Amino acid sequence: MTKRKTTTPPEKQVSLAVELGPLKMKNPVCTASGTFGYGEEYSRYYDLSKLGAITVKGLSLKPLQGNPPPRICETPSGMLNAIGLQNVGVDEFIHKKLPFLHRYDIKVVANIFGNTIEEYEAVAARLDRAAGVHAIEVNISCPNVKKGGMAFGTDLDSTYDVLKAVRGATGLPVLAKLSPNVTDVVPFAVKAAEAGVDGLSLINTLLGMSINVKTRKPRIANITGGLSGPAIRPVAIRIVYQVHRAVGLPILGMGGIINSDDAIEFILAGATAVSVGTANFVNPTAASDIVDGIKKYMIENDIADIRQLVGKVDIPA
Ligand SMILES: Cc1cc2nc3c(=O)[nH]c(=O)nc-3n(C[C@H](O)[C@H](O)[C@H](O)COP(=O)(O)O)c2cc1C
């Protein structure tokens, strides 16, 4: 009797590669700043080369201690944080943290902030000269001390000025991380485009507050904090959708992504790539699982190239 050969069909080839302007990523999954440290802790859970990119904790010119505790609390479907941008400072990052990331086949996005335009410029210029930094993400949700402490990202002129200054300080791809704490993000996205950035990161946390009714005290020492996690996802999806339709820049979408369906939702709304944030605290392999899930979705739905899905939400006529 002749044995019948059983052959498994070859796995369908799908392309997950994307470009955020000049930043090329092998897949659209990145980690969100402040939720992945500088990558070291998570490297114990999986090979970081699995990801398209990692965005490191926000970097300032000098190291910062951050706010006093408690700095985080859990809220319905999310969390509030007021870490206060604690970080090792840009020089220590370059000399002590960045070499670790050289081991991985991964794009490194350095998130930066400052209290003055000159600080932003100085941090960007230092990173520009550092080997192994592939892009700069500019967090503009920070107080502008020269303008009475109002956040750069809630004033159109300050948004333009700070982004233009960073653009002038580096030849690296620049992503502007816009604040959702404004009535309409679209005019800010337009200003960012005018300043010459290569892409937009949407969204940062939403300003929130939580009170313990037993103690009658705020749950975090800073009183208010940034809300993140699935609770903010519909807001983030709405902003990505509105900005994608209005502005031609590629978008790195984030806000409450827990699984690959959430990531696809952002892509359909108009994001070219996505960042995974709060989910890393719940499931340390979340970002890696999302890469697998996106690939599975593409195979099951006959999508050869992930770029085909960008902005393809089906809006009834
Ligand atoms: C603990 C914590 C720290 C964060 N630190 C930063 C930061 O340093 N710079 C920044 O631009 N965004 C920071 N973010 C915002 C995230 O990068 C992200 O924009 C936001 O949390 C929404 O995504 P998520 O809901 O998936 O967490 C932080 C968020 C959290 C929860």
The verdict on whether 142 is a catalytic residue reads yes
Q: How many CA atoms lie within 13 A of 6 on its CB side?
A: 0
Q: What percent of the chain has pLDDT over 90?
A: 92
Could you tell me which of 295, 294, 281 has the C-alpha nearest to residue 45? 281
Tens of pLDDT, residue by residue over 24-36, are 999 999 999 999 9
Cα 275 to averaged position of ligand 1 atoms, centre (Å): 10
- Kindly name the residue from 142, 227, 240, 264 that is annotated as catalytic: 142
Alpha carbon of 163 to those of 63, 146, 217: distances in Å? 22, 16, 38
User: Ligand 1: does its nearest atom lie under 6 Å from the Cβ of 291?
Assistant: no
Whether 146 shows a pLDDT value over 70: the answer reads yes
Compute, in angstroms, the gap from residue 231 CA to the centroid of ligand 1. Answer: 14
Distance from the CA of 57 to the center of ligand 1, in angstroms?
9
Res 150: pLDDT: 84
pLDDT reported for residue 145: 79
Instruction: Return the pLDDT at 148.
Output: 81
204 pocket-lining for ligand 1 (C-beta < 6 Å):
yes
Closest by CA to 141, choosing from 131, 130, 129, 149, is 149
- Ligand 1 atom closest to Cα of residue 57: 8
Average pLDDT for residues 14-41, to the nearest whole number?
Answer: 98
Q: Which residue's C-alpha comes closest to atom 6 of ligand 1?
A: 34
Q: Ligand 1 centroid vs 47 CA: distance in angstroms?
A: 22
pLDDT at 12 over 80: no
Distance from the alpha carbon of residue 157 to the mean position of ligand 1, in angstroms: 24
pLDDT of 210 reads 98
Atom of ligand 1 nearest to the CA of 78: 25
Domains of the chain (ranges, CATH numbers)? 18-309 (3.20.20.70)
| CA 26/CA 49 separation, integer angstroms | 10
Q: For the segment 268-277, what is each residue's pLDDT rounded down to a tens digit?
A: 999 999 999 9
CA of 236, closest atom in ligand 1: 22
pLDDT at 1 over 60: no
272 CB near ligand 1 (under 6 Å) = no
Q: Is the CB of 228 under 6 A from ligand 1?
A: yes
**pLDDT value for 10:** 66
What does the pLDDT look like over 170-229, one tens digit per residue?
A: 999 999 999 999 999 999 999 999 999 999 999 999 999 999 999 999 999 999 999 999
pTM of the entire structure? 0.96
pLDDT in tens, 304-317: 999 999 999 999 98
Whole-angstrom distance, CA of residue 93 vs CA of residue 136: 14
Average pLDDT over residues 280-299: 98
CB-ligand 1 contact for 30 (6 Å cutoff): no
- Can you tell me which atom of ligand 1 is nearest the CA of 58? 8
Give pLDDT, residue 55: 98
**Residue nearest atom 5 in ligand 1 by C-alpha distance:** 34
pLDDT of the residue at 217: 97
Q: What is the pLDDT of residue 147?
A: 82
Angstrom distance (rounded) from CA 239 to CA 269: 9
- Identify the band that residue 144 occupies on the pLDDT scale cut at 50, 70 and 90: confident
Q: What's the pLDDT at 101?
A: 97
* pLDDT tens for each residue of 151-182: 899 999 999 999 999 999 999 999 999 999 99
Residue 5 pLDDT greater than 90, yes or no: no
Ligand 1 touching residue 201 (CB < 6 A)? no
pLDDT in tens, 124-140: 999 999 999 999 999 99
277: CA distance to ligand 1 center in Å? 6
Instruction: Please give the share of the chain, as a percent, with pLDDT higher than 70.
Output: 97
Ligand 1 proximity of 58 Cβ (cutoff 6 Å): yes
Among residues 226, 279, 273, 280, the alpha carbon closest in space to that of 37 is found at: 280
